[in-house]
A and B are shown apart, each in its own frame.
Chain A
């Protein structure tokens, strides 16, 4: 009887102890304060992106020319711009634009880059040579210059800015995955998978891909931050969002003429960009510490 009970107790202990690699990563992620702060900032901005337009006190294009370049006050929390529009409301709306551009661009480049990288890394030979050389060519240009070139070809618009940002980020993901695949495909469990009699496609998608995903998640989070800056930069240069859209970079560009007499028109969009970027960076750093087994103590 006691034997049975002991066995049951052991069973229960076992059930409790079982933790997958993801749960373990979450446990160590929770321990990092900066990662949690970063995630909080990110969640905050995501909430703004979702609900911002509903809570914004004024519309984005409601001009009030008698209230041009007003300093922050109870009515206009972040002041007004040169057309008398409420900067606070515009920033709330802009969060949706910036986050959408950042997330979509990174998602596209991560998927495309991973696909190309995995094929280059696994099949090697001439496929690898071709794909890697294309990556080299893309990386040979400074990324913002390349983005500008792509936008000039496609014509300036927010959507084209998004495409440009996605394209310039593809080689980063591609190279990352390729190097990861190169090391993983020599792991013994991949040889074992082959020895068992698995097809290449199964080995690729079920064994190599899941094991190469962690750096992509980390790189992806950090890349969202860069993508937001790049979108803002393109907006600032007039190659991204168009006139009435409350894109943060565009707002900076429009406000720079009034830098001395209305600094708030510049400071608040700038702060919004900075905070979002810091949030994603902190979260990305935390993810890297949590997911990279080599950093674990």
Chain B
């Protein structure tokens, strides 16, 4: 097995809720609560979950765009949570991010050339001429033309802008790219183009991806492994095929049963979850899923299940799969 590029260890991100005149601390929104996983070099890890389950926050906490409340992030042998701002800034050269909204993630007052050149400038790569050449080269790599360099973001379609966003992430030759719902804002036809582009780039440039999405089909298409999050916790993580064929966690089963099947005659059993996703500021005790779980037991209300490996390449956090003591 290839080497571990990123190790996330008990990562937590709580957003404090403050109230009143003196900003009294009255509670926390537990956006990410004790998430651990490993990421191997060259693979794509998909992270799925409903909106608000903390998948984007996880991505941002890894990059320290949101300062983690607790936990460690080990990237390529470097302990990211211990770095000061300036050291972290330099490490960001190796971890780049692709954002969800291609309309909001590019500065509207800068030309494409300026947008793409900036990562090179801030990391002091190359001289002016080399930088300009590299901008043109990468524009071609992501499927745009070099003459697009002089245009402004508003002159592009959503798909083209997302390509610019991807090109920006590639400029510094990063090792890891965290893609935060990179295709959610795009039309389905464009989604496929961008996904294929990302896969091609991964092969050509030996990239490692964390691919955050809420669309299970998209994640299946691109990921080697998939993690499922619910209410700030990672409830199941497995190799892509294992997860899709044999989901273990009741939440994953319900999610997968909701994926439409392109066959009008096919009758399937739909697992409909009752109730809403609870508030992350006041999550249920024990297993956070017990309020909606069809298999909930007494134990689930009290004890938080730990993520444990049940078979090779498949871990789940659920009391149903615990080895009998």
Establish whether residues B105 and A197, one from each chain, have CB atoms under 8 Å apart when the complex forms.
no
* A1-32 vs B, Cβ < 8 Å mask (1 yes, 0 no): 00000000001001101111100000000000
Interface residues in A176-199 (C-beta closer than 8 Å to B): 187-189, 191-199
Chain B residues contacting A15 (CB-CB under 8 Å) are: 150
User: Contacts A14-B147, A18-B150, A21-B152 hold; do A195 and B97 have CB atoms under 8 A apart?
Assistant: yes
Q: Judge whether B63 is part of the interface by a CB distance below 8 angstroms.
A: yes
Establish whether residues A18 and B151, one from each chain, have CB atoms under 8 Å apart when the complex forms.
yes
Q: Judge whether B168 is part of the interface by a CB distance below 8 angstroms.
A: yes
Establish whether residues B107 and A211, one from each chain, have CB atoms under 8 Å apart when the complex forms.
yes
B107 to chain A, nearest CB (A): 5
Chain A residues contacting B65 (CB-CB under 8 Å) are: 191, 194-195
User: Contacts A18-B150, A20-B152, A188-B100 hold; do A197 and B109 have CB atoms under 8 A apart?
Assistant: no
* B160-173 vs A, Cβ < 8 Å mask (1 yes, 0 no): 00000100100010
User: Contacts A188-B101, A197-B122, A197-B123 hold; do A21 and B92 have CB atoms under 8 A apart?
Assistant: no
Interface residues in B134-155 (C-beta closer than 8 Å to A): 147, 150-152, 155
A211–B65 alpha-carbon span in the complex (Å): 21
Establish whether residues A189 and B89, one from each chain, have CB atoms under 8 Å apart when the complex forms.
no
Per the CB 8 Å criterion, the residue count for chain B at the interface is: 32
A192–B92 alpha-carbon span in the complex (Å): 11
Establish whether residues B109 and A21, one from each chain, have CB atoms under 8 Å apart when the complex forms.
yes
Establish whether residues A191 and B155, one from each chain, have CB atoms under 8 Å apart when the complex forms.
no
Picked from B119, B147, B151, the residue with its CB within 8 Å of the CB of A197 is B119
B80 to chain A, nearest CB (A): 13
A199–B60 alpha-carbon span in the complex (Å): 17
* B77-116 vs A, Cβ < 8 Å mask (1 yes, 0 no): 0000000000001111100110111001111110100000
Establish whether residues A196 and B105, one from each chain, have CB atoms under 8 Å apart when the complex forms.
no
Interface residues in A206-264 (C-beta closer than 8 Å to B): 207, 210-211
Q: Judge whether B118 is part of the interface by a CB distance below 8 angstroms.
A: yes
Chain A residues contacting B118 (CB-CB under 8 Å) are: 193, 196, 198
A215–B107 alpha-carbon span in the complex (Å): 17
Establish whether residues B123 and A192, one from each chain, have CB atoms under 8 Å apart when the complex forms.
no
Q: Judge whether A202 is part of the interface by a CB distance below 8 angstroms.
A: yes
B278 to chain A, nearest CB (A): 26
Chain B residues contacting A195 (CB-CB under 8 Å) are: 63, 65, 92, 96-97
Chain A residues contacting B93 (CB-CB under 8 Å) are: 197
User: Contacts A14-B147, A18-B150 hold; do A189 and B92 have CB atoms under 8 A apart?
Assistant: no
Chain A residues contacting B152 (CB-CB under 8 Å) are: 18-21
Chain B residues contacting A14 (CB-CB under 8 Å) are: 147, 151
Establish whether residues B89 and A197, one from each chain, have CB atoms under 8 Å apart when the complex forms.
yes
Chain A residues contacting B100 (CB-CB under 8 Å) are: 188
A14–B155 alpha-carbon span in the complex (Å): 10
Establish whether residues A188 and B105, one from each chain, have CB atoms under 8 Å apart when the complex forms.
yes
B116 to chain A, nearest CB (A): 10
Establish whether residues B99 and A199, one from each chain, have CB atoms under 8 Å apart when the complex forms.
no
Chain B residues contacting A192 (CB-CB under 8 Å) are: 97, 99, 105-106, 165, 168
Establish whether residues A197 and B107, one from each chain, have CB atoms under 8 Å apart when the complex forms.
no
A198–B63 alpha-carbon span in the complex (Å): 13
Chain B residues contacting A198 (CB-CB under 8 Å) are: 89, 118, 122
User: Contacts A195-B63, A195-B65, A198-B118 hold; do A188 and B104 have CB atoms under 8 A apart?
Assistant: yes
Chain B residues contacting A20 (CB-CB under 8 Å) are: 109, 111, 152
Chain B residues contacting A17 (CB-CB under 8 Å) are: 155
A192–B122 alpha-carbon span in the complex (Å): 13
Chain A residues contacting B109 (CB-CB under 8 Å) are: 20-21, 210-211
A198 to chain B, nearest CB (A): 5
The chain A residue with its CB closest to the CB of B92 is A197
A211–B96 alpha-carbon span in the complex (Å): 24
The chain A residue with its CB closest to the CB of B96 is A195
Can you list 16 A-B contacts (CB < 8 A)?
Answer: A20-B111, A20-B152, A188-B105, A189-B106, A191-B60, A191-B97, A191-B105, A192-B105, A192-B106, A194-B65, A195-B96, A196-B168, A197-B119, A198-B122, A202-B122, A207-B107
**Additional A-B contacts beyond A194-B65, A197-B122, A198-B118 (4; CB < 8 A):** A188-B100, A191-B60, A192-B97, A199-B122
